[in-house]
């Protein structure tokens, strides 16, 4: 019920990863919402205004790059953490140009991804990452 | 902190639905939530209309109000009632919103699982079809047909490595390409066989990127070329062209890569079988010759 509870949209087509990310983010006091493809992601971002988005680039139908391009074109300020199996510098640069706030290479360490997401949530709420715990954006008080 | 994570999502959903007023909630349904939301706002509208009528009655010209309650008290009571009802409606709306989100999450998870099962089932079917065939020409037809079905493609080809060349042995679409030869490293397929890396083609192909590429129609808008690698050795290349209006993505490439692994093993087995059969035929012929000579 807390109005401070951050909401994070997880965009991923792999059901196992969806569940793992949901459980881990819930444990961090985040309310996760899910999307399995690009179209659902765009509609849920517009309808539910999440504090951050975890975006897999390889999706059925509209892929993650198209979602990122759409958000960039719409000027949507939601911070996006991109997940990709590609290590190419060009891809990282492309994500940065399209306004992504983080880039995590798969297979990823779940703790690193959660840290990146919490950092993005902190930025979304105008909080420096170091102050996130103090202001209740992390930790048990929101669980 | 971890208390919440332990509550199964189904239970959370049922709890939210019950608090929101869906008493008979057993099967998750977005439609039931929407119906409840409609009823809630209909009720809210009716109550507010009744309250407005009540207020109009109360503030009639002085002297006309009568009864046990004084006018200011009556006004206050109506105001408190209206406020309490608004709080009730907003709380229910909040719960309904959460139930909608949880139901949508469940649908997303179900869809992801269904897609995964569909993919696995197609791959299983393709694997079964490939393993049931030992004759190389028939196997190549099966590989190409399965790949086209898997990707909703309209054509393609299978090329096998012979020495330092790729030979086109099976084609769907441009039949005149059967028998065409390409050196390893030449064109898109030669590049794929040499590097053993799949290539996703979108739009016009740059001949500088793929030296030796024949620049001739028909041009494809979207295509994929995958190496068939068995035991670290390239045995061939699978090429698939997208149907008009369809564009392959890296997601498709990943899905068909698993299929290509199975196809490569099947091709290697079929070639082994073909070699063994030739060897047996040779031995039988030799035996006949010996018997003839002895006779």
pTM, two decimal places: 0.68
pLDDT score of A134 more than 50 = no
Tokens at B268, concatenated: 């290697």
Q: How far, CA to CA in Å, does B210 sit from each of B165, B205, B242?
A: 16, 8, 20
| Between residues A3 and B290, the one the model is more confident about | B290
Q: What is the pLDDT of residue B72?
A: 75
In sequence order, which residues have a C-beta less than 8 Å from that of residue B144 and are 6 or more positions away?
A: B156, B157, B158, B170, B171, B172, B238
Which of A14, A18, A29 is the closest to B1 by Cβ?
A: A29
Q: What is the pLDDT of residue B5?
A: 47
Q: Give B120's Cβ-side CA count (13 Å radius).
A: 7
What is the C-alpha to C-alpha distance for residues B181 and B193, in angstroms, rounded to an integer?
Answer: 13
Residue B94 distance to chain A (closest CA, Å): 9
DSSP A106: S
Averaged pLDDT, B4-14 = 62
Asked if A60's CB is within 8 angstroms of B115's CB, the reply is yes
CB proximity under 8 Å: A 58-97 to B: 58-60, 63
Give pLDDT, residue A71: 93
Q: Checking DSSP bridges between strand B165-172 and strand A102-105, what pairing results, if any?
A: unpaired
Nearest-angstrom CA–CA distance, A39 and A60: 10
Strand pairing report for B165-172 and B181-183: antiparallel
Q: Distances from the Cα of B87 to the Cαs of B93, B101, B215, in angstroms?
A: 10, 21, 71
Q: Calculate the average pLDDT of chain A.
A: 82
Hey, which residues does B23 pair with through a beta bridge? none
* Coil/strand/helix, residue B254: helix
* B112 → closest Cβ in A36, A139, A143: A36
ipTM summary value: 0.76
Q: How far apart are CA A21 and CA A17, in angstroms?
A: 6
Does the beta carbon of B30 lie under 8 angstroms from any beta carbon of chain A?
A: no
Contact B104 A143 (CB under 8 A): no
pLDDT tens readout for residues B17-55: 777 666 665 665 788 888 888 998 899 889 888 888 877
Closest-CA distance, B201 to chain A, in angstroms, reads 16
Tokens of B3: 């208390």
- The rounded distance, in Å, linking the Cα atoms of A49 and B20 is 22
**Comparison of pLDDT for B234 and B5, the residue scoring more:** B234
């Amino acid at each position: 019920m807390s109005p401070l509870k951050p909401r994070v949209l997880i965009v991923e087509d792999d059901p196992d990863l969806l569940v793992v990310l949901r459980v881990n983010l819930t444990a961090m006091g985040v309310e996760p919402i899910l999307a399995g493809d690009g179209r659902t992601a765009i509609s849920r971002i517009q309808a539910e205004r999440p504090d951050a988005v975890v975006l897999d680039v390889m999706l059925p139908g509209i892929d993650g790059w198209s979602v990122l391009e759409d958000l960039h074109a719409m000027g949507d300020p939601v911070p996006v953490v991109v997940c990709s199996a590609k290590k190419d510098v060009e891809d990282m640069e492309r994500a940065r140009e399209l306004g992504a706030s983080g880039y995590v290479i798969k297979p990823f360490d779940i703790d690193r991804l959660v840290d990146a997401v919490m950092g993005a949530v902190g930025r979304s709420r105008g909080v420096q990452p170091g102050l996130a715990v103090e202001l209740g954006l992390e930790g048990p008080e929101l669980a | 902190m971890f208390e919440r994570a332990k509550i199964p999502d189904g239970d959370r959903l049922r709890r939210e639905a019950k608090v929101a007023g869906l008493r008979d909630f057993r099967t998750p349904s977005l439609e039931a939530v929407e119906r409840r939301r409609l009823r809630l706002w209909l009720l809210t509208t009716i109550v507010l209309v009744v309250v407005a009528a009540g207020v109009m009655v109360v503030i009639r010209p002085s002297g006309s109000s009568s009864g046990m309650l004084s006018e200011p008290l009556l006004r206050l009571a109506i105001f408190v009632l209206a406020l309490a009802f608004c709080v009730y409606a907003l709380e229910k709306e909040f719960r309904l919103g959460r139930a909608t989100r949880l139901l949508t999450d469940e649908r997303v998870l179900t869809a992801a699982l269904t897609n995964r099962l569909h993919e696995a089932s197609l791959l299983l079917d393709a694997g079964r079809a490939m393993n049931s065939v030992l004759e190389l020409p028939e196997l190549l037809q099966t590989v190409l047909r399965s790949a086209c079905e898997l990707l909703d493609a309209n054509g393609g080809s299978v090329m096998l490595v012979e020495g330092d060349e790729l030979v086109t042995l099976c084609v769907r679409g441009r039949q005149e390409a059967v028998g065409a030869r390409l050196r390893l490293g030449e064109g898109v397929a030669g590049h794929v066989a040499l590097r053993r890396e799949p290539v996703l083609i979108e739009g016009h192909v740059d001949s500088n990127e793929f030296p030796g590429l024949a620049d001739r129609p028909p041009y494809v808008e979207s295509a994929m070329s995958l190496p068939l690698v068995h035991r670290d050795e390239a045995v061939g290349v699978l090429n698939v062209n997208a149907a008009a209006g369809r564009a392959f993505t890296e997601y498709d490439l990943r899905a068909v890569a698993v299929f290509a692994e199975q196809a490569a093993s099947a091709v290697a087995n079929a070639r082994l079988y073909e070699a063994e059969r030739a060897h047996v035929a040779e031995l039988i012929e030799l035996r006949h010759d010996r018997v003839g000579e002895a006779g």
